[in-house]
């Protein structure tokens, strides 16, 4: 712990040195460390900090450079620019799968990865360390006496019964902009036709479209929205103001995103990366795991309804240009209703 | 007798050649199983790839003159269902790339055969590619829509490694079973030879009958040669025995005549020198005629041993008869001959031979005992069988000669002045051994010797 020190947080100016756009770069650990682990990640620093701290505590003389990017910028940095990172962490399972499938990830096995459940590892390249559900977030104050919807069907009925109340006050991801939104939407369509019905109902109510979960939650909090659909539950539960809104895991099916890590094939210090992955896996899986997501979000309550997105080449299907174009045009006609 | 020089072993050679062929077969089995398994694994992978490619091909639609493809989720996820695999695909209209991985190589079908397959390296890993095609009518005319799907081989390799281990096990098991069988086979092959060997070596020294037991055809020439060899040996032995008997017989009569003449001449002569010479002559003649008699005896014994009769003999009666018959000779020499202890015993054998053997023993005892000596004959039943003991109070034997005495023409060192042929013990020994018994010669602690015949019970 004594070497651990949160040092500088740099806000990068656009266009600095690299073409990909980093949102934030932070350094952890002693200044004069002999080895450095470079992590590129889509997760906020605050979300990942506990994991970094515990790793640095066990690995002396090590520092970590943590770069926060969007999932598409992560692709750009690794695929197009071949930037050297030791670990890539992302919530965009489809893009991570494509990285691994295209041979841009190293194979890695250890005792820790061997103990992982089947759904958490793919081809010894991709390792899942969180389970984060897509939730319905509703404003408690805005709902008043209305019953909270437990499933998509409930939500559809509610929206249909009170069109005037909800008009312009329902929100969801703009799947054209957000990779995670696209992933949730496509997986929803795989699970049930009800997604399309719900999207049409929301479209009829002039749904607002958002780039990210946090904006949606903010909008619910401010009263702009009464209902936000497919919000990343882990973000909602980790907010300090979480009592102001209700987080609902739909009982018909709950799509669960797995945050994954991989070691890029051009990682400069892949041994250190292996150590970090072992730490990440041991800490987030197993009996006395200290999961990154809030334990209040208990997934085991409704195990049968959990729809864990399976890591694998199936995810490549919706990345197919023809497929994506077809899906987006269908989605647009449902939500925009022009 | 010289020991034959052993060179190699049939059993070992048989065993080794069986094992060598088993090892070759085991290796062949290993490779055959593996290659069949490889083929099956390859075929099943090809089938899955084809199914995947066809499901993509089937999803192609013409809408407004353009081709749209609704990639089925299962088309790619099915390739990953058993083991984690990297999966690639490419959709092309003739040579125009539509979707997927633009660089993915395409399996070229030869002729019209579709699907076509290809093994290649793609993005740093070995892959298997399947390509299927379908004729489509577009605005620009009819052209082929081609779908290629590729998959890495990690699952197949794992399966093959497992199969390789299994076929290794099968090969090893096959070899182990072969080792067992080889041991059994070589033993059973050698068995007739072992049987022949033991049947020949179990025979008594005089048994020269031909081998009559059935033998495998390969051994017939050997056994035929052996039989003919034994027949010639037997004939030659018989001829020499006949010759000896004939010679002895022919010599005995003239000797008797010469002895009578010499006695008459001795009685008539007054010249002490002549008398002495004649006395020595008579002694030599006695010696010769005794030898001739015993040679005849021996020839008779040899003949009878070859055709040994087995009838019941009352051994106690035989002992008493023989003792009585010997009594005149012993009284002539003033030697006391007595059957002291005679128990009742019945054995199976040739009575003439047994009597002859006992007679020879008693004759020896009487002959080599000084006047006034005593000879006791006893027949006792012991744990080992019926035992006839001839005890005398004569000079006994010299200890270092005990083993050699029963040999033909061997005589003790202290018998030079007594007429004898050296055949008596030989005859007795041959007879008792033909009956399965043994002859023992010992010196009594208080002087004199003990010769015993032991007939085993049963």
**First-residue to last-residue Cα distance in chain B:** 33
pLDDT of residue A210: 94
Nearest residue on chain A to B149, judged by CA atoms? A313
Q: Which of B69, B70, B76 sits opposite A316 (nearest CB)?
A: B76
pLDDT of residue A328: 95
Nearest residue on chain B to A326, judged by CA atoms? B70
pLDDT of residue A248: 92
Cβ of A320 and B75 within 8 Å?
A: no
CA angle B136, B138, B142 (to 5 degrees): 55
DSSP for residue B6: P
Rounded to 5, what percent of chain B is helix, strand, coil? 55, 20, 25
pLDDT of residue A1: 39
Q: What is the ipTM of this complex?
A: 0.86
Q: Which of B85, B86, B99 sits opposite A320 (nearest CB)?
A: B99
- Chain A, window 61-100: residues with a beta carbon less than 8 angstroms from a chain B beta carbon: 100
Cβ-based contacts of B96 with chain A (< 8 Å): none
- Exposure string for A289-311, b = 16+ CB within 10 A, e = fewer: eeebbbeebebeeeeebbbbbbb
Cβ of B123 and A102 within 8 Å?
A: yes
- Exposure string for B44-71, b = 16+ CB within 10 A, e = fewer: ebbebbbbbbbbbbebbeeeeeebebbb
Q: Which portions of chain A are predicted below pLDDT 70? A: 1-18, 287-296, 301, 338
Q: How far does A36 lie from chain B, in Å, by closest CA?
A: 28
Say whether residue A102 is in contact with chain B using an 8 A CB cutoff.
Answer: yes
Cβ-based contacts of B77 with chain A (< 8 Å): 310, 312-314, 317
Lowest mean pLDDT among A246-260, B228-242, B250-264, B409-423: B409-423
Mean pLDDT of B11-16: 89
Instruction: Answer yes or no: are the C-beta atoms of B351 and B311 closer than 8 Å.
Output: yes
Most confident residue range from A256-260, B63-67, B381-385, B440-444: A256-260
pLDDT of residue B21: 92
pLDDT of residue B417: 59
Q: How far is CA A273 from CA A2, A120, A163, B30, in A?
A: 22, 18, 52, 42
Instruction: Answer yes or no: are the C-beta atoms of B263 and B269 closer than 8 Å.
Output: no
Q: How far does B98 lie from chain A, in Å, by closest CA?
A: 8
How far is Cα A338 from Cα A332, in angstroms, rounded to an integer? 9
Cβ of A123 and B68 within 8 Å?
A: no
Cβ-based contacts of B154 with chain A (< 8 Å): 123
Q: Which of B76, B91, B154 sits opposite A317 (nearest CB)?
A: B76
Say whether residue A320 is in contact with chain B using an 8 A CB cutoff.
Answer: yes
Cβ of A322 and B99 within 8 Å?
A: yes
How far is Cα A121 from Cα B110, in angstroms, rounded to an integer? 40
pLDDT of residue A5: 38
Cβ-based contacts of B127 with chain A (< 8 Å): none
Cβ-based contacts of A317 with chain B (< 8 Å): 71-73, 75-77
Q: Name the token pair of B191.
A: 């068995």
Cβ of A322 and B69 within 8 Å?
A: yes
Q: How far does A83 lie from chain B, in Å, by closest CA?
A: 18
Instruction: Answer yes or no: are the C-beta atoms of A99 and A262 closer than 8 Å.
Output: yes
Say whether residue A162 is in contact with chain B using an 8 A CB cutoff.
Answer: no
Nearest residue on chain A to B153, judged by CA atoms? A123
Nearest residue on chain B to A327, judged by CA atoms? B70
- Exposure string for B3-42, b = 16+ CB within 10 A, e = fewer: eeeeeeeeeeebbeebbeebeeebeebbeebbeebeeebb
pLDDT of residue B336: 87
pLDDT per position as a tens digit, B128-161: 999 999 888 877 778 889 999 999 998 888 888 9
| Helix axes A179-191 and A194-204, enclosed angle (nearest 10) | 130
Cβ-based contacts of A322 with chain B (< 8 Å): 68-71, 91, 98-99
pLDDT per position as a tens digit, B380-431: 888 888 889 888 887 777 777 777 777 666 666 666 556 565 778 888 888 8
Cβ-based contacts of B72 with chain A (< 8 Å): 317
pLDDT of residue A15: 42
Mean pLDDT of B353-378: 86
How far is Cα B249 from Cα B246, in angstroms, rounded to an integer? 5
How many interface pairs between A and B have CB atoms less than 8 angstroms apart? Answer: 61
What residues of B are in the A interface, CB distance below 8 Å? 68-77, 79-80, 84-88, 91, 98-100, 123-125, 154
Say whether residue A117 is in contact with chain B using an 8 A CB cutoff.
Answer: no
Q: Name the token pair of B315.
A: 């051994």
Instruction: Answer yes or no: are the C-beta atoms of A81 and A104 closer than 8 Å.
Output: no
pLDDT of residue B28: 93
pLDDT surpassing 90 at residue B251: no
Cβ-based contacts of A100 with chain B (< 8 Å): 86
Q: Name the token pair of A278.
A: 């072992």
Cβ of B84 and A123 within 8 Å?
A: yes
Say whether residue A122 is in contact with chain B using an 8 A CB cutoff.
Answer: yes
Cβ-based contacts of B103 with chain A (< 8 Å): none
pTM, rounded to two decimals: 0.68
pLDDT of residue A8: 38
Percent of chain B's residues with pLDDT above 70: 94
Q: Average per-residue pLDDT in chain B?
A: 85
Cβ of A313 and B87 within 8 Å?
A: yes
Nearest residue on chain A to B90, judged by CA atoms? A320
pLDDT of residue A12: 39
Nearest residue on chain B to A189, judged by CA atoms? B73
Instruction: Answer yes or no: are the C-beta atoms of B335 and B375 closer than 8 Å.
Output: yes
Q: How far does B95 lie from chain A, in Å, by closest CA?
A: 17
**First-residue to last-residue Cα distance in chain A:** 58
pLDDT surpassing 80 at residue B446: no
pLDDT per position as a tens digit, A86-145: 999 999 999 999 999 999 999 999 999 999 999 999 999 999 999 899 999 999 998 888
pLDDT per position as a tens digit, B343-354: 888 888 888 888
């Amino acid at each position: 712990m004594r070497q651990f020190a949160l040092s500088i947080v740099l806000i990068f100016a656009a266009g600095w040195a690299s073409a990909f756009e980093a949102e934030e770069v932070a350094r952890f650990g002693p200044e004069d460390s002999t080895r450095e682990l470079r992590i590129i990640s889509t997760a906020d620093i605050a979300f990942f900090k506990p994991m970094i701290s515990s790793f640095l505590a066990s690995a002396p003389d090590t520092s970590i450079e943590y770069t926060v990017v969007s999932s598409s910028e992560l692709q750009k940095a690794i695929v197009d620019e071949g930037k050297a990172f030791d670990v890539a962490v992302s919530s965009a399972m489809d893009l991570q799968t494509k990285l691994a499938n295209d041979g841009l990830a190293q194979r890695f096995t250890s005792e820790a990865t061997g103990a992982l459940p089947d759904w958490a590892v793919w081809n010894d390249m991709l390792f899942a360390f969180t389970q984060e559900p897509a939730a319905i977030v509703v404003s408690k104050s805005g709902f008043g006496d209305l019953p909270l919807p437990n499933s998509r069907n409930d939500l559809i009925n509610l929206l249909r019964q009170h069109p005037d109340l909800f008009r312009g006050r329902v929100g969801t991801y703009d799947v054209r902009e957000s990779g995670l939104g696209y992933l949730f939407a496509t997986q929803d369509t795989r699970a049930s036709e009800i997604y399309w019905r719900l999207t049409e109902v929301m479209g009829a109510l002039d749904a607002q479209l958002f780039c990210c979960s946090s904006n949606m939650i903010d909008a619910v909090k401010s009263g702009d929205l009464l209902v936000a659909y497919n919000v990343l539950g882990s973000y909602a539960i980790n907010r300090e103001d979480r009592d102001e809104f209700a987080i609902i895991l739909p009982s018909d099916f709950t799509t669960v995103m797995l945050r994954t890590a991989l070691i890029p094939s051009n990682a400069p210090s892949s041994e250190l990366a292996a150590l970090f992955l072992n730490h990440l896996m041991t800490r987030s899986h197993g009996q006395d795991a200290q999961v990154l997501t809030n334990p209040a979000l208990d997934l085991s309550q409704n195990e049968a309804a959990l729809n864990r997105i399976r890591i694998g080449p199936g995810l490549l299907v919706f990345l197919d240009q023809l497929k994506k174009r077809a899906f987006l045009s269908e989605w647009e006609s449902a939500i925009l209703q022009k | 007798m010289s020991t034959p020089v052993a060179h190699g072993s049939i059993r070992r050679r048989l065993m080794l050649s069986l094992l060598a062929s088993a090892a070759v077969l085991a290796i062949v089995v290993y490779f055959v199983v593996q290659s069949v398994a490889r083929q099956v694994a390859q075929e099943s992978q090809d089938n899955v790839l084809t199914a995947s490619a066809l499901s993509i091909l089937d999803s192609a639609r013409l809408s407004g003159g353009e081709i749209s493809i609704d990639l089925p989720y299962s088309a790619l996820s099915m390739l990953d269902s058993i083991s984690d695999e990297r999966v690639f695909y490419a959709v092309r209209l003739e040579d125009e790339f539509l979707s997927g991985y633009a660089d993915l190589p395409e399996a070229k079908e030869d002729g019209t055969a579709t699907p076509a397959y290809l093994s290649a390296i793609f993005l740093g890993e070995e892959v298997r590619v399947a390509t299927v095609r379908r004729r489509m009518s577009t605005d620009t005319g009819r052209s082929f829509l081609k779908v290629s799907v590729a998959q890495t081989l990690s699952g197949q390799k794992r399966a093959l490694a497992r199969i390789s281990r299994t076929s290794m096990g099968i090969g090893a098991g096959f070899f182990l079973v072969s080792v067992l069988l080889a041991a059994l086979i070589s033993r059973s092959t050698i068995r007739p030879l072992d049987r022949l060997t033991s049947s020949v070596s179990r025979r008594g020294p005089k048994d020269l009958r031909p081998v009559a037991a059935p033998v495998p055809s390969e051994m017939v020439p050997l056994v035929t040669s052996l039989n003919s060899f034994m027949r010639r040996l037997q004939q030659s032995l018989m001829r020499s025995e006949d010759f000896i008997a004939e010679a002895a017989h022919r010599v005995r009569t003239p000797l008797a005549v010469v002895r009578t003449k010499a006695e008459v001449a001795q009685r008539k002569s007054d010249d002490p020198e002549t008398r002495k010479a004649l006395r020595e002559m008579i002694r030599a003649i006695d010696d010769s005629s005794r030898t001739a008699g015993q040679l005849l005896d021996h020839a008779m014994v040899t003949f009878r041993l070859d055709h040994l009769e087995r009838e019941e003999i009352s051994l106690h009666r035989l002992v008493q008869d023989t003792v009585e018959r010997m009594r005149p000779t012993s009284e002539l020499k003033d030697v006391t001959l007595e059957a002291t202890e005679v128990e009742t015993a019945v054995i199976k054998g040739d009575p003439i031979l047994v009597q002859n053997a006992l007679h020879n023993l008693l004759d020896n005892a009487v002959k080599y005992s000084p006047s006034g000596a005593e000879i006791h004959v006893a027949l006792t039943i012991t744990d080992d069988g019926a035992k006839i003991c001839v005890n005398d109070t004569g000079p006994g034997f010299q200890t270092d000669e005990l083993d050699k005495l029963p040999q033909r023409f061997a005589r003790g060192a202290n018998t030079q002045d007594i007429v004898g042929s050296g055949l008596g013990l030989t005859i007795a020994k041959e007879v008792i051994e033909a009956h399965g018994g043994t002859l023992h010669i010992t010196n009594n602690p208080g002087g004199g010797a003990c010769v015993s015949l032991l007939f085993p019970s049963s």
